Amino acid sequence: MSVLGAKDHYRGNPGLLYGEKFAGKKVRDYLDGKFEMIPKTKEHIFVDADKCIGDACAICYTLCPGGAYEMIDGKAVWAFGMTNCMECGICQYVCTVGAIDWSYPEAGTGVVLKWS
């Protein structure tokens, strides 16, 4: 199973964890086939653009292992989250200004691990 596919969206400097040479690629390879993504019914992570300091930070974009974020008009947007978010929680902890409103997707949707 191809876990995540949006590899064309990042800027010239790929997200640190999302880039092919870094941990995100390894995480995705490791998880390949070990989880299923049940289609989500509604967005569950939101960025408050008024709080987001955008390109001066871009930490969520840089560290998200799923490549769920894009920087648009100088602000972070959870643009690929509905398909790419792995529900790891990193983004909410690294945002120093509290701009990310984080929650799990609706019950029965999103990541389902298959470790057996």
Binding site for ligand SF4 (CB under 6 A): 45, 47, 52-54, 57-60, 64-66, 68, 76, 81, 85-91, 94-95, 97, 99-100
For ligand SF4, which is the closer residue by CB, 88 or 116?
88
Pair 25, 74: CB distance under 8 Å? no
Least CB distance to ligand SF4 at residue 68 (A): 4
Q: How far is the CB of 116 from ligand SF4 (least distance, A)?
A: 23
CB 13 within 8 A of CB 71: no
Identity of the residue, 14 or 81, whose beta carbon is nearer to ligand SF4 in the bound complex: 81
Rounded Cα distance, 53 and 43, in Å? 22
How many alpha carbons fall within 13 Å on the CB side of residue 108? 1
